[in-house]
Amino acid sequence: QVQLVESGGGLVQAGGSLRLSCAASGRTFRIYVMGWFRQAPGKEREFVSSIKWSGGSTYYADSVKGRFTISRDNAKNTVYLQMNSLKPEDTAVYYCAVGTFVTVVSAPSGYNYWGQGTQVTVSS
């Protein structure tokens, strides 16, 4: 099992920044990729970004490319999502996820473990 704890959400004005953190514990040696997804009210959960634990390859949704940056600290088993130039449409619950074997990094179904989510609200 892998446990995930997210932090860093909150309320920010459009154009502002937030940094999300996700700390993993448990059987962290199984981590292949860590990702961030988000879900707005009435919408499906969507891919935001992910990073491979070994090698550090990163992936981004087109909607956040150039504004969000994902990074990791392997020693702390933590992944970060730096979100800049936030827009009202970024408002959602953000979930951290771990995949132990993922072929399509943007598909939620490929991830085994999920955090509880953290709310991000961007006011206009």
Could you report the per-residue pLDDT of 37-82, keeping only the tens digit for each?
A: 999 999 999 999 999 999 899 999 999 999 999 999 999 999 999 9
- What pLDDT is recorded for position 76? 94
The DSSP element (H or E) to which 13 belongs, if any, is: strand 10-13
**How many other C-beta atoms are found inside a 10 Å radius of the C-beta of residue 41?**
7
| Residue keyed to tokens 């933590």 | 78
What mean pLDDT is predicted for residues 84-109?
94
- Contact, 46 vs 37, CB < 8 A? yes
Percent of the chain with pLDDT over 90: 90
- What's the distance, Cα to Cα, between the start and end of the chain in Å? 40
Give the Cα separation of 7 and 20 in Å (integer).
6
